[in-house]
A and B are shown apart, each in its own frame.
Chain A
Amino acid sequence: MAEMQEKEGKKGKKQKQKKHPTRVDLTPMVDLGFLLITFFMLTTSMLKPQTMEISVPSKDKVAEDEQNKVKASQAMTILLGKENKLYYFFGNGENGQPPVLIDTDYSSEGIRKVLMTKNIDVMKLVEQLKKDKADKKVSEADYKQRLSDYRGSKNAPVVMIKATDDSNYKNLVDILDEMQICNISRYAIVDITPDDLALIDKKTIAAK
């Protein structure tokens, strides 16, 4: 455009054309651009939220059955109490004598240590497997297969999670998290029974 205008001017046409500068001031456009960017940055969620997947046994009888089948040496019950308190006992409490309740907390020194010692065999295997994977000795598919094998092995502990009405959602997520950290794949969320509640009551009274 600019060239054409110049040529016309040289031809001698006396008509004085106003020379429009081809440079437009882009500052407002930049302003607008950044304004829109800010808007989009603030309104979008780039991160997809994290989730944990859980599957709950259907109500019928599965939980009951499994509870009975489990050997006493493998069984463990965790009771989630109020004010972030946590109780656990080993065995399935069927031998006539009431199980001994031990209280602990959600810290890494608390329940995690207990679970890790309980699940020490699997923990060791998984650790070895992870090391192998880091050294590229096992493939991705193989790793997944063996990980689930180890976790689901017959001698791994079986944990019953029973939450009282006084515990909160964070407690539940925390304990499910501990299961994952400690490589326990056999656990179930079970309704609390009056017997369990009585045990907690007795424990709290004894603590006082």
Chain B
Amino acid sequence: MPKVKVPRKTTNVDMTAMCDVAFLLLTFFMLTSNFVAKEPIVVAVPSSISEIKIEERDILTVLIDKEGKVFVGLDAQNDRREVLDKVGKAYQLSFSEKELKEFSKIGMMGVPIGKMNAFLALKQEERDSKEAALGIPTDSISREFETWIKSAKIVNPKLRLAIKADSNTPYKVIKDVMTTLVKIKENRYNLITSLEKDPNK
């Protein structure tokens, strides 16, 4: 019995079109993207029906985790070193050029100012665990949190405050932060939430 001849098709497909598509998409993603800011702690924000979007620039994020540790993040890299310099001066600490440079690479900062020197001397990989263990003191004696916000405001007066806190954060911590903000006349700020369906719609 003669074998049925299967016509041999070439397996070589023209990849040009696919390549075009891939790079088109790549270009799109590269142009539209802004990177996810690295956060030292994982925060599950509560949901709300509010649909106001946060502004893209000039945001000072106050990150609060469920144990009440407070972190501060600035989006503008250029401002960061200036802020650290100002905060350092307030506590009679000075930072070297190298340390300032290192600091400007950190998106979310939560280290007591006294330990900042030691923290900046660490390698990047070591920082993550250390950073997660600390947080900026919010007490009214050292007033570190207050100083951070104030300094950031001086460096960039257009800065808007956004509070990003975990759902299970005790209200006591939030209250401390809020009272501090009221004290330095920061009466308007945003609470970052995730979207929930509006029952009226």
Interface residues of A (CB under 8 A from B): 25-27, 29-30, 33-34, 36-37, 40-41, 43-46, 48-59, 80, 108, 112, 130, 163-174, 176-177, 180-181, 189, 191
Q: Does B162 touch A at the CB level, under 8 Å?
A: yes
Closest residue of chain A to B173 (Cβ to Cβ) is A169
Q: Mark B141-174, 1 if CB is under 8 A from A, else 0.
A: 0000000000000000000001011111111101
- Closest approach, in angstroms, between the C-beta of A65 and any C-beta of chain B? 16
Closest residue of chain A to B16 (Cβ to Cβ) is A26
Known: A48-B56, A168-B168. 13 other contacts (CB 8 A): A25-B15, A37-B26, A44-B34, A46-B33, A49-B54, A50-B194, A52-B48, A52-B193, A53-B188, A165-B171, A168-B167, A171-B171, A177-B48
B15 touches A50 (CB 8 A): no
Q: Which residues of B contact A49 (CB under 8 A)?
A: 45, 53-54, 164, 192-194
Interface size on B, residues (CB 8 A): 58
- Closest approach, in angstroms, between the C-beta of B201 and any C-beta of chain A? 9
Q: Which residues of B contact A164 (CB under 8 A)?
A: 171
Known A-B contacts A26-B19, A40-B30, A177-B50; A56 and B178 likewise in contact (beta carbons under 8 Å): yes
Query: What's the Cα separation between A140 and B139 when bound, in Å?
Result: 46
Stretch at the interface among B77-85, B116-124, B126-134, B179-187: B179-187
B25 touches A37 (CB 8 A): yes
Known A-B contacts A45-B36, A54-B191; A40 and B26 likewise in contact (beta carbons under 8 Å): yes
Which of A43, A168, A172 is B33 in contact with, Cβ under 8 Å? A43
B188 touches A55 (CB 8 A): yes
Query: What's the Cα separation between A57 and B100 when bound, in Å?
Result: 36
B48 touches A176 (CB 8 A): yes
A181 touches B192 (CB 8 A): no
Known A-B contacts A52-B52, A52-B193, A173-B48; A33 and B19 likewise in contact (beta carbons under 8 Å): yes
Q: Which residues of B contact A168 (CB under 8 A)?
A: 167-171
Q: Does B32 touch A at the CB level, under 8 Å?
A: yes
Chain B residues 46 to 62 lying within 8 A of chain A, measured CB to CB, are: 46-54, 56
Interface residues of B (CB under 8 A from A): 15-16, 18-19, 22-23, 25-26, 29-30, 32-36, 45-54, 56, 64, 162, 164-172, 174-175, 178-179, 181-183, 185, 187-196, 198-200
Query: What's the Cα separation between A108 and B197 when bound, in Å?
Result: 13
Query: What's the Cα separation between A50 and B194 when bound, in Å?
Result: 6
B15 touches A59 (CB 8 A): no
B191 touches A40 (CB 8 A): no
- Closest approach, in angstroms, between the C-beta of B51 and any C-beta of chain A? 6
B193 touches A51 (CB 8 A): yes
A50 touches B51 (CB 8 A): yes
- Closest approach, in angstroms, between the C-beta of A75 and any C-beta of chain B? 22
Query: What's the Cα separation between A44 and B183 when bound, in Å?
Result: 36
A170 touches B54 (CB 8 A): no
Query: What's the Cα separation between A170 and B189 when bound, in Å?
Result: 17
B48 touches A169 (CB 8 A): no
B26 touches A169 (CB 8 A): no
- Closest approach, in angstroms, between the C-beta of A169 and any C-beta of chain B? 4
Q: Which residues of B contact A36 (CB under 8 A)?
A: 26
Known A-B contacts A44-B36, A56-B181; A50 and B18 likewise in contact (beta carbons under 8 Å): no
Closest residue of chain B to A51 (Cβ to Cβ) is B190
Q: Which residues of A contact B172 (CB under 8 A)?
A: 165
